[in-house]
Amino acid sequence: MGTEAWYDEEKLGELMLYVAGRMSQDPSFGATKLNKVLFFADFFHYAQHGTAITGAEYQKLRYGPAPRQLVPVQRSLTSTGAALIRRSEAGPYAQKRLTPLRDADLSRFTGTEIAIVDEIISCLTGRTATEVSDISHLMVGWKIAAEGETIPYDSVFLYDGPLTDSDYRFAKQIAERLRPELEGAGIA
């Protein structure tokens, strides 16, 4: 599914400010975690409600998905004085932390959108950037995309784990229901 028609740059910027403000006390919050919160928020909202929150296009990078539009939006936030980037050492890594200089404008968000973002923040707070990256690598969309390739929103519905007995029973019911049509088409 393409997102270009409904990508909202201003909404992405405000969501970045919101996430950075909410995670400001998390010592492991930096660019990696910001990317993952945005990714999970957009994809999980898409899975539950049929639309992403920002419509940003996410690409596969080595450490997990990131919005293609992140850098230009971040530049805009810093150039307008809405935020700044703080660099610090976090173990062997250089951490880049978006720091809001004003509150996010949430007037364009629904309560459901913010609730999903808050739930993701709650789940990821206290985890290291490596742990959060590892979680994002479990998403089938990230697994099937090539480095630099766009991760389709529809990939949130893909599953590559083991099938349960319930899954097999359901598949058998569907097959039995479709058997007459398949036989009529010469497929079964």
- Tell me what pLDDT residue 188 has: 62
Domain residue extents for the chain: 4-157, 159-188
Identify how many contiguous H helices and E strands the chain contains and give both numbers. Answer: 7, 4
pLDDT at residue 1 above 90?
Answer: no
User: Would you give the distance in Å from CA 99 to the centre of its chain?
Assistant: 20
How is 25-44 classified by DSSP, letter by letter?
T-TT-SHHHHHHHHHHHHHH
- What pLDDT, on a 0 to 100 scale, did the predictor assign at position 5? 55
Q: Are 16 and 74 in contact (CB under 8 A)?
A: yes
Q: What would the pLDDT profile of 158-172 be if each residue is shown by its tens digit?
A: 988 888 888 888 888
Within 8 A by CB and 6+ apart from 79, the residues are none
- pTM score: 0.85
Reply yes or no on whether the pLDDT at 4 is more than 50.
no
3-state secondary structure of 165: helix
Instruction: Note the pLDDT tens digit of each residue in 37-74.
Output: 999 999 999 999 999 999 999 999 988 999 999 999 99
Closest CA to 3 of 73, 55, 68: 55
